[in-house]
Amino acid sequence: MHYLNLISLNWLRTAALLVCLTATVAPAHIFAQEPTAGLNPSTQELLDRGNELLLRGSYLAAIEVLSRVDDEFFQDQADLGLSQAHIETGQYAQAEAVLQRALEEPADHPELATRLAELYVMTGRSAQAEALLAEVIAGQLNPPVRTLVQYGLVRTLHGDRDAADEYFNAALARYDSGMVFESADVAMVAVAARQLDEFHDANALFSEAIRLDDSNLEALVLWGDLFQEKFNDQDAQTNYNEALEVNRRYAPALVGLARIESPERNLSRALDANSRSVAALATFGELMIRNGREEEGLGFLRQALDINPESIPALATLAARAAMNDDMDEFERLRERVNAFSPESASFYASVAEFLGNNYRFTEAVEYARRAIDRDPRNWHAHTVLGGNLVRLGEESEGKRHLEQAFDNDPFNVLTSNMLQVFDVLEEYATLESEHFRVNMSQRDAQILWPYMEPLLEDGWDRLVAKYGFEPEVPVVIQVFERTEDFAVRSVGLPDIGPLVGICFGKVVTLISPDTLSANWQEIVWHELVHVFTLQMTHNRMPRWLSEGISTWEERQGRPEWGRRQGLDLIRAVQQDRLLPVGNLNDAFTGANSNADLSFAYFQSFLVVEYIAEQYGFEDLLALIHEFAEIKDESEMFANVFGVDMETFDAGFRAWIDQRVADINVYVHAEDSPDEGEGHGHGVRENSSAILAELYNNESLKQYMQGRVQREPRDFQAHLQLGIVLFREEAYSEAITHLRTAHELLPDYTGYPSPSLVLAQVYEAMGNEEAQREQLAIMLEHQQHDFAAPLQLAEHALQVGDLDQAAYYVERAMAVNPYRPEVHRLGAELASRQGDTGRTVQEYEVLLTLDQNDPVAARTDLAQAYLDNSQPDDARMTVLRALETAPTYERAQQILLQAVEPAEGD
């Protein structure tokens, strides 16, 4: 005590108060867990215990303990802890009451005053906060670091960035002079560094703060926020989890974690701890609105704004929603509301831009991102948002420029650097142009895929322009990525995109190269191309369910074998009452928890569109699309087009579905597994029950299935599995009976294996090649993703001289896998026999890329094709390369002489 008296009281107070600032300070081991039995605890013991309870999230107990401190010397420390406990539980008024004492002489209680100012900001009184902090700073020779930083943050909020920077620099200078010791203060210096765009320093300072005190929850979360701001979710997640290990009720950490994983669960936990957490409410509100749960979202946002009328995230979400709905009066009202405390806030505009971009409104997103940058050219996040949205509009060079600018000044932003890396990938890619498209793809795909993609695109364009009476803005940009990660980054900025294989942004389409898929790539291209039309027709305002529904419906219109046939899924969904009302169909996409859910969302959307086309006609579907060009209530649009309200429309749709189920008329056993396929719905869907039957030759399975068939003669799955088991027992005749029954029950079944596929295998085993081919042909009427069957049928058709059939099946094989040399060998032979010298050249050109086993033969064949196609110069150069390896190869020598002879005769 005597020693304490020797020290400046002011310094002591400062040191003591800093220790309590974030309730995270004292090492855990010094805290007593229980009061000393039989004795009254000392003030220090009360403080220690209260702070420990606060740190661990026992807020009410902390309030009780800290309230018992009655010692003038320790009062500020106790009040800081007490106010913190109130804040963590949303008792802002109580917190404010505790801190009121600071108002008498703010400079004498700088930490209390600073905490009060922070509370003012939290509750929408930033002007009062600024005044209070200014008073503290004016009254102190060396104001606390926290005061400087909080003052800078308020000045930033108020749009005075230059003034704010002065205080952030002052905090950094304090650190540079060696006068910052405590973890909490180091974290505040880190915040200042972050505000000055010194991201590297901010990172190092947060690291130092945690090294000084690994229980500094505030620092852990602020550091996590910095990581998250840079889209480094992994490190952010680590930080949030470390904070939650100390205090599982720490709302700021739960809110941060919610932005990365299990959003609803973590936000609910945050609100359990602090039902008035503005950050949790605003984040929940945005989440709900993003997921189409508008009313719930608005409720959360209203609560957030009731507590903090100056919450920019909440106001920005509301403003973005208003902009989405073309409600510019509401937008202006909200903008004015922000302007009242934060004039022309760059972060407000950047948030609006980001929201709009995430909702496909790229043009408007660009506009708002530009406004953010006009206001604050140093808002690198806005540059990233602008760059990303420009890229989605096909404005590559300007987009890249903004991304580079963002990266140069903020190199830690993972999203920015990812997107720029994709530009590096694209630089190596070929750029190809047709009449309406500009396409980027790898050099390999340019050689192999483009010759077949170009006619598909242009044919699709012509048909869809004629059908929809609309010509999209050109050129449509299509980018085909070899690496899934590049596709994902180009599409969403980050390398994980789930099961998607193609995304349309309106003017820009991104695709995964078919080389990495086992699916009909032509159907995927067609599907995305339809999106180009529907999105552009509605200025990207069409809801996802309808856009996907139309694209999926158009698959079937494109080729008879395309499209989805999920009859069993439909029956199962009706049995389980899983069909959603049309008005809620978007939820099927946003709320999908599995690939199967997502796949069914596509399928139900398709069914609605098919219902419209069948019952009302294509013209009404077209009218509905045009309705979506304007922002209106969905029920109003449906009433305008179909003359009925949504409920009546839904009832009609359900009746139509019931009739469809009745028409299918197949029994679906509750125990059977649904077919499994990719969530995007393109590709083979596996019938896992039937695959098991393929693997096991099981007597009990046979008896069980026979029993099912006796009970339910229309049990498709039972007939199929019986057929498979009997086939494996080589009981061919019985197998054929059951497989034919299964096929008759559900002739368009496309799962793997299908009855016709197994029948083909049965006939193959029996040596009946003709019947085998017949079954393969039947299978291919509906199964579009098979490569081997069309190849086999094309080969046979060529053998028997049926060139039309050969051409059809070569095309079918090419639509699945154009990367296999055998399909091009058949294609070359076919083209040659058809006298199509141009196509022959094309096939041999592709073969030269694909078949590296015999380059001399490949080059010689290609040279011959060039010669036949009156391309002697190409023939000459190609055969020279063959002869370089094989100079005595006489067939090549003859081609060379033929190629040069006309020139010699000239």
Give the binding site for other proteins (CB under 8 A): 852-856, 876-877, 880, 883-894, 896-897, 900
Closest distance to other proteins from the beta carbon of 889 (Å): 4
Asked if 208 contacts 186 with a C-beta cutoff of 8 angstroms, the reply is: yes
Closest distance to other proteins from the beta carbon of 823 (Å): 14
- Of the candidates 804, 843, 816, 846, the one whose C-alpha atom is nearest the C-alpha of residue 559 is 816
- Of the candidates 314, 367, 370, the one whose C-alpha atom is nearest the C-alpha of residue 346 is 370
Cα-based distances in Å from 158 to 130, 310, 342, 343, 378: 9, 11, 4, 7, 16
- Side chain identity, residue 33: Q
Residue 556 or 891 having the CB closest to other proteins: 891
Residue 295 or 890 having the CB closest to other proteins: 890
Closest distance to other proteins from the beta carbon of 857 (Å): 8
Residue 789 or 892 having the CB closest to other proteins: 892
Q: State how far the Cα of 250 lies from the Cα of 58, in Å rounded to an integer.
A: 10
Q: State how far the Cα of 761 lies from the Cα of 775, in Å rounded to an integer.
A: 9
Residue 438 or 881 having the CB closest to other proteins: 881
Q: Which residues pair with 478 in a beta bridge?
A: 439, 509
Residue 577 or 906 having the CB closest to other proteins: 906
Closest distance to other proteins from the beta carbon of 850 (Å): 10
* Cα 97 versus chain centre, distance: 45
Q: State how far the Cα of 141 lies from the Cα of 232, in Å rounded to an integer.
A: 39
Residue 781 or 884 having the CB closest to other proteins: 884
Residue 177 or 888 having the CB closest to other proteins: 888
| Phi and psi angles of residue 726, each rounded to the nearest 5 degrees, phi first | -65, -35
Closest distance to other proteins from the beta carbon of 904 (Å): 9
Residue 373 or 850 having the CB closest to other proteins: 850
Asked if 762 contacts 739 with a C-beta cutoff of 8 angstroms, the reply is: yes
Closest distance to other proteins from the beta carbon of 880 (Å): 6
Closest distance to other proteins from the beta carbon of 887 (Å): 5
Closest distance to other proteins from the beta carbon of 428 (Å): 21
3-state secondary structure of 508: strand
* Cα 556 versus chain centre, distance: 27
Residue 129 or 896 having the CB closest to other proteins: 896
Q: State how far the Cα of 746 lies from the Cα of 515, in Å rounded to an integer.
A: 32
Closest distance to other proteins from the beta carbon of 517 (Å): 13
Closest distance to other proteins from the beta carbon of 785 (Å): 17
Cβ-based neighbour number of residue 421 at 10 Å? 15
Residue 835 or 887 having the CB closest to other proteins: 887
Largest CA distance in the chain: 120
Q: Please list, in sequence order, all residues whose beta carbon lies within 8 angstroms of the beta carbon of residue 805, skipping any fewer than 6 positions away.
A: 793, 794, 797
Residue 309 or 855 having the CB closest to other proteins: 855
Asked if 649 contacts 642 with a C-beta cutoff of 8 angstroms, the reply is: yes
Asked if 16 contacts 25 with a C-beta cutoff of 8 angstroms, the reply is: no
Q: What is the residue-wise DSSP string for 823-867?
A: HHHHHHHHHHHHT-HHHHHHHHHHHHHH--S-HHHHHHHHHHHHH
Q: State how far the Cα of 709 lies from the Cα of 135, in Å rounded to an integer.
A: 87
Q: At what angle do helices 110-122 and 92-99 cross, to 10 degrees?
A: 150
Q: State how far the Cα of 621 lies from the Cα of 643, in Å rounded to an integer.
A: 13
Residue 499 or 855 having the CB closest to other proteins: 855
Asked if 711 contacts 717 with a C-beta cutoff of 8 angstroms, the reply is: no
Closest distance to other proteins from the beta carbon of 892 (Å): 8
Buried b (16+ CB within 10 A) or exposed e, 138-168: eebeebbbbbbbbbbbbbbbbbebeebbebb
Closest distance to other proteins from the beta carbon of 319 (Å): 49
Structure tokens at 313: 């995230």
Bond before 106 cis per omega within 30 degrees: no
Element (DSSP H or E) covering residue 62:
helix 59-67
Closest distance to other proteins from the beta carbon of 786 (Å): 17
Residue 841 or 858 having the CB closest to other proteins: 858
Q: Please list, in sequence order, all residues whose beta carbon lies within 8 angstroms of the beta carbon of residue 696, skipping any fewer than 6 positions away.
A: 725
Closest distance to other proteins from the beta carbon of 515 (Å): 11
Structure tokens at 63: 């309030």
Asked if 171 contacts 152 with a C-beta cutoff of 8 angstroms, the reply is: yes
Q: State how far the Cα of 52 lies from the Cα of 63, in Å rounded to an integer.
A: 11
Q: Which residue has the tokens 């840079």?
A: 230
Bond before 475 cis per omega within 30 degrees: yes
Residue 96 or 482 having the CB closest to other proteins: 482
Residue 730 or 884 having the CB closest to other proteins: 884
Residue 629 or 877 having the CB closest to other proteins: 877
Residue 683 or 755 having the CB closest to other proteins: 683
Closest distance to other proteins from the beta carbon of 853 (Å): 5
Q: State how far the Cα of 642 lies from the Cα of 620, in Å rounded to an integer.
A: 7
**What dihedral angle (degrees, nearest 10) is formed by the CA atoms of 373, 375, 377, 378?**
-110
Closest distance to other proteins from the beta carbon of 627 (Å): 47
Q: State how far the Cα of 147 lies from the Cα of 131, in Å rounded to an integer.
A: 12
Q: Please list, in sequence order, all residues whose beta carbon lies within 8 angstroms of the beta carbon of residue 581, skipping any fewer than 6 positions away.
A: 646, 650
Residue 719 or 859 having the CB closest to other proteins: 859
Closest distance to other proteins from the beta carbon of 433 (Å): 28
Closest distance to other proteins from the beta carbon of 884 (Å): 6
